[in-house]
Chains A and B, each alone.
Chain A
């Protein structure tokens, strides 16, 4: 008898818990996090991913981690210096974006960061010659493979070593999008390849404006 009461009570408690869970679930479905997505293409909202600690090495040999993202809008592009087509195209486009933002007086706290997915060949010296060619304000990041992966894993960047004719001569398949981090190091934007300069400028300014209004 007692056992039956306990069993019924347990089943009822189970249904209550299930009901409460379902209720919370549907409440979340019906009332999305405010404010709603404003319809800006490329904006990752709501719940942008918070980037955590990582460490990498700049083309000048300095350390670059989470602290260097703080307070700045960062455009991140992942590639490698033995990439003759899509990487120069993207960095050229990012240089145009940077130039247009500067002309609009909106580049003050913007940094353009090129992260190698081929750290074995892309030493800081190799990165320096490559990145500075496009713009000496740009930051090139290398380091050990573990260091690079401490960042790529968080952002969801894919890279795979492809075919080559010799051990030193291979291609690397890699995510081609440009990622935007806000001054709180949140991943707030994804601009798919190929980059269109005017679109990137417009979307960035819209995203910055939108997030500025969220306080």
Chain B
């Protein structure tokens, strides 16, 4: 019994779930100390039968949060701001390095790996979801896999 409780406490993947939407693997790149912007990533599942758009993201620790897509064309990388992230019925979507990312501007406090950042995601059905994203070094994937 005690073990069960502990394993819950140390659940490696935090899942935040509303009625329709579930978020997992939310993390924010620690980034260099002089960087004014950093990137955030997560997986989203739309469990409902309705098309839902992710329309906004915000955090009390950042001035603003946008959705961006890194595009590569003829060897040139560019970032395209996305107004919404469409989530078709019964589908999943990933913000992942080198592709879609949350772009977080001007943190109010210096963030270190291990810190937890609150994020509020707002959807087109009027619902919003409060989640927590862990700050990690971007090389964690290499050192921990």
Chain A residues near B (Cβ < 8 Å): 81-86, 88-89, 92, 95-96, 125-126, 128-134, 158, 160, 162-163, 169, 171, 173-177, 192-194, 197
Contact = CB atoms under 8 A, between A and B. Distances in A.
B75 A85 contact: no
B75 A84 contact: no
Contact of B76 (A82, A128, A174, A197): A174
B31 A86 contact: no
Contacts of A128: 34
B120 interface: no
A71 B35 CA distance: 32
A175 B78 CA distance: 9
B31 A95 contact: no
Contact of B75 (A82, A163, A176): A176
B22 interface: no
Contact of B32 (A96, A134, A163): A134
A8 to B, nearest CB: 52
B139 A84 contact: no
A87 to B, nearest CB: 9
A95 B143 CA distance: 12
Given A133-B33, A175-B75, 6 more contacts: A83-B79, A84-B29, A85-B98, A89-B138, A95-B139, A193-B75
A84 B35 contact: yes
B70 A86 contact: yes
A130 B97 CA distance: 18
A169 B36 CA distance: 10
5 contacts: A125-B34, A131-B32, A173-B77, A193-B75, A194-B98
Closest CB pairs A-B (n = 10): A129-B34, A133-B32, A173-B78, A176-B77, A84-B39, A130-B32, A84-B37, A92-B139, A171-B79, A85-B39
A83 B77 CA distance: 10
A89 B39 CA distance: 11
Most central of B31, B33, B77, B97 by chain A CB within 10 Å: B77
A197 B142 CA distance: 10
A97 to B, nearest CB: 11
Contacts of A96: 139, 142
Interface string B12-38: 000000000000000001011111111
B77 A193 contact: yes
A92 B138 contact: yes
B35 A174 contact: no
Given A162-B79, A175-B76, A193-B72, A85 B97 contact: yes
Nearest to B101: A85
Given A96-B142, A128-B34, A130-B34, A85 B76 contact: no
B63 to A, nearest CB: 10
Contacts of A130: 32, 34-35
B42 to A, nearest CB: 14
Contact of A163 (B38, B81, B105, B139): B81
A88 B81 contact: no
B32 A85 contact: no
A86 B98 CA distance: 6
Contacts of A132: 32
